[in-house]
Amino acid sequence: MTIRADMTTLTPEQRQNWPQLSQTLIGILERRAQQALGVLESSVYQKGEDRFIVELPGFTSEEAARQVISTSARLEYYWARTVATDKNPSRAYVQERDADGEPLFRRATAGPTEILEPGTPEYDRMVRSWQLITTGDTLMRAEARSSLTGEGYDLLLSFNAEGARALDDLARRTMNMRENIAAVLDGKVISIAFIKDGVRFTDGSVVLEGRFTVEQAKRLAELLNAGALPVDLVEENVNRVSPTIGEGAKDQIIFAGLISFVITAAFLLVYYMFPGLTALLALLAYISFAYAAFKLLGVSFSLAAIAGFILSIGMAVDANILIFERLKEELRNKRTLLTAIDLGFRRAFPAILDSNACTIITTIVLMNIGTGPVRGFATTLMIGVLISLFTAITVTRSLLLFFVHSGIGREASWYGLNRGWFGERLEAGADERPLAIVQKMGRYFLISGLIILPGVIFMAMGG
């Protein structure tokens, strides 16, 4: 979507602060796309001074996108003092409801069919004749909930102290007068109801009764929670782009993932032998669980998301390698097979938990400060790491114990104890010839710094 900010509606002060205001606008549009539309990998960026591009990969409903992205979502609460009530029936306007419960208005002197249409001058004059109580700026939280009357859904709105004082002040001044409070969203009345006898708003909680459908209520709540736009937006065009350009890259990354899986499976079977077979079975279970979770959560399978998924497969194997190395170490120390399995899992678990916790923390940071593909990569990686932690500890252990108790895999020769291709000899002589890491920390800090330095330089250059 290409949308343009209507700069003519800005005050001189807002024009002066437009760079900061445009960043606020981008943040609101991103929250709307992610929360109200559910597009985790949405991208919003500025083009020129007043144009913004919103990309929604995987989202197909143009009408829903228009309703969420382009609407200002300015919520205003009014005392509808010119609308007739039970105790004051001789006012300028009368309210009715259509078959769906949506509020309708007409002049008191007009016929039943002369309904005022939202956006018309007469409708706007009616709203301007009311007294403003508070706006969405004082709104803290909106939540969809089932209506107490059993007819559709309502919104439970929570206002801050300023909004609560304004609402409660009106309730106190009009106590037992059954005056109407109207909720106006972008110039249209979406709810109007009288203040019940004795009701106060000291806690800032207000029920917005609108007989909404569950989809309408949830989407409206997300819109209000994302915040009102600081400027009106004008839609210029909506383009639907087919994924033909990315098809080749997608096929390549999937092919690379399959090659990686085959090489990983071969390594597990050759180097770890029987435990490697159980790890491979657990890995297949992990892929099934992760894919099901992605589909259930509605994750878009973009290139970045697929890359995060493939990386999480490697991390699932990493956890098994830590376990099997401890298992081999216990077997070399003349432990029985069942004892070695128990100690191997138990002693490898802290290292596995630490590494996965660090990865999860990193993904949380990426999800909060990243945009578009970065957020998709972080999402699939975090879900994959959480599931891999379960499969590595629970599924692999259960399979290994099942096979051993069934009489399969009881031979020590099936565990590759003699395979020492990756520094096992160095580890075996660690007691006699320890590596002086702490004593030579300066050297290792220097090496780490030299490795990090190019990345810092490229970050400073914006690359």
Render the burial of 367-405: b for 16+ CB within 10 Å, e for the rest: beebbbbbbbbbbbbbbbbbbbbebbbebbbebbbebbe
Q: Does domain 249-419 have CATH number 3.30.1180.20?
A: no
Retrieve residue 242's tokens.
């087919």
Mean pLDDT of 89-98: 89
Across the chain, what does the average pLDDT equal? 84
pTM of the model: 0.57
Q: Which of 375, 364, 75, 401 is nearest to 223 (CA)?
A: 75
Q: Tell me the C-alpha distance between 248 and 253, whole Å.
A: 9
Q: Tell me the C-alpha distance between 66 and 185, whole Å.
A: 16
pLDDT tens for residues 197-207?
Answer: 788 888 888 88
Q: Tell me the C-alpha distance between 201 and 193, whole Å.
A: 14
pLDDT at 52: 92
Q: Is residue 270 scored above 80 in pLDDT?
A: yes
pLDDT tens for residues 154-177?
Answer: 888 899 999 999 999 998 888 888
pLDDT bracket for residue 463 (50, 70, 90): low
Determine which of 82-96, 151-165, 182-196, 211-225 has the lowest per-residue pLDDT on average: 211-225
Q: Where are the chain's structural domains?
A: 2-69, 75-236, 249-419
Count of beta carbons in the 10 Å neighbourhood of residue 429: 10
Determine which of 97-106, 160-169, 210-219, 378-387 has the lowest per-residue pLDDT on average: 210-219
Retrieve residue 176's tokens.
């037992």
Q: 2-69 has which CATH code? A: 3.30.70
Retrieve residue 278's tokens.
């159980």
pLDDT tens for residues 15-74?
Answer: 888 888 888 888 888 888 887 787 877 888 888 888 999 988 878 888 888 888 888 788
pLDDT tens for residues 334-356?
Answer: 888 888 888 888 888 888 888 88
The strand pairing partners of 135, in sequence order, are 76
Retrieve residue 428's tokens.
């075996």
pLDDT at 166: 92
pLDDT at 137: 85
pLDDT tens for residues 395-436?
Answer: 888 888 888 888 887 777 777 777 666 656 656 666 667 767
C-alpha of 1 from chain center: 21
Q: Tell me the C-alpha distance between 305 and 257, whole Å.
A: 13
Retrieve residue 402's tokens.
């099942």
Q: Tell me the C-alpha distance between 317 and 323, whole Å.
A: 10
The class that CATH gives domain 75-236 is: alpha beta
Sequence-ordered strand ranges (E) for 108-175: 131-135, 139-146, 153-159
Whether the Cβ atoms of residue 168 and residue 202 lie closer than 8 Å to each other:
yes
| Look-up of token digits 């699939």 | 380
pLDDT tens for residues 108-126?
Answer: 988 888 899 988 999 999 9
Q: Tell me the C-alpha distance between 329 and 332, whole Å.
A: 5
